[in-house]
Structure 1
């Protein structure tokens, strides 16, 4: 399945010690996806769509999803609907 780099809005929480925790992903059609759990956080490149940054491995609705913070923008590896 083909994927594209899709920039998304993300609701985040900033802690006093400077940690960033994404809480929700907002799709451009208005759909909101609550992040159930953060499984890991590390610096990685997206091999599927290009780009690099801090990768948050998240669980959303029971599905493992990668959410990237690239400089000051968030993106996901979105599936292309054909």
Structure 2
């Protein structure tokens, strides 16, 4: 497993919070984040790194999306 950096569309709110709405792979495929299930400061135990961990639902599957300022990553192969 390794960090797979991704482009993310997000809404930045006045209070400083961030709501990611879409993940875009490097091949330009775009996936809507259907639901944010949890947000917390956490480390990736599989690939290292830490920051805000968003537990999200994409295509009815639970995934982790990390915001490690200033980049976003997922745990990938």
TM-score, with structure 2 as normaliser = 0.96
Name the counterpart of 1:10.
Answer: 8
Name the counterpart of 1:20.
Answer: 18
2:15 match: secondary structure: coil
Deviation at residue 77 of structure 1 after TM alignment: 0.3
Name the counterpart of 1:51.
Answer: 49
Deviation at residue 13 of structure 1 after TM alignment: 0.3
**For the pair shown, which has the larger CA radius of gyration, 1 or 2?**
1
Instruction: State how far apart, in whole Å, the 2-side matches of 1:54 and 1:69 are.
Output: 5
Unpaired runs of 5+ residues, structure 2, are: none
Task: Report the aligned-residue RMSD.
Answer: 0.7
Spell out structure 1 runs of 4+ moving beyond 4 A. Answer: none
Name the counterpart of 1:40.
Answer: 38
Unpaired runs of 5+ residues, structure 1, are: none
Instruction: State how far apart, in whole Å, the 1-side matches of 2:16 and 2:66 are.
Output: 17
* Aligned residues between the structures: 77
